[in-house]
Amino acid sequence: GAVVSQHPSRVICKSGTSVKIECRSLDFQATTMFWYRQFPKQSLMLMATSNEGSKATYEQGVEKDKFLINHASLTLSTLTVTSAHPEDSSFYICSAAGQTQHGYTFGSGTRLTVV
């Protein structure tokens, strides 16, 4: 159990366009999902906490108008990178809490390249 699906796995977009990344919990309901960002050879940094039916909570320094998060249902959260620029190129990964004894489960990640 506790499977998280993330799509797309890889995306290349032109500078100035917007990109949507989906994160789905396949076999459980997730009232809270988390979005992380990882630069090459670095650790994962939490960007925001996505709450079903309410506004996301963003970490300090993360632009909420650039990284739009929507958690419309108990199984789906989306991250939209708006007006993407080359510096937004990164690996984005989502997670959700499954059963307590297993901790958090992560999606497979999305590698975004902005050209």
CB of 34 to other proteins, least distance (A): 7
Q: Please state, in angstroms and rounded to a whole number, the distance separating the CA atoms of residues 17 and 92.
A: 17
Exposed/middle/buried for residue 52 (C-beta within 10 Å: 0-12, 13-18, 19+)? middle
Contacts with 63 (C-beta within 8 Å, 6 or more apart), sequence order: none
Structure tokens at 54: 């309410």
67 sits near other proteins (criterion: CB under 8 A): no
The one-letter code for the residue type at 111 is: R
**Residue nearer to other proteins on the CB measure, 53 or 101:** 101
62 sits near other proteins (criterion: CB under 8 A): no
**Residue nearer to other proteins on the CB measure, 7 or 102:** 102
What ranges make up the beta strands (E) of 1-115? 4-7, 10-13, 19-25, 32-38, 44-51, 57-58, 67-73, 76-81, 90-97, 104-106, 110-114
CB of 102 to other proteins, least distance (A): 5
95 sits near other proteins (criterion: CB under 8 A): yes
Residue of the chain from 5, 38, 70, 82 that contacts other proteins (CB under 8 A)? 38
100 sits near other proteins (criterion: CB under 8 A): yes
Residue numbers at the binding site for other proteins (CB under 8 A): 31-32, 34, 36, 38, 41, 43-46, 49, 91, 93, 95, 97, 100-106, 108-109, 111
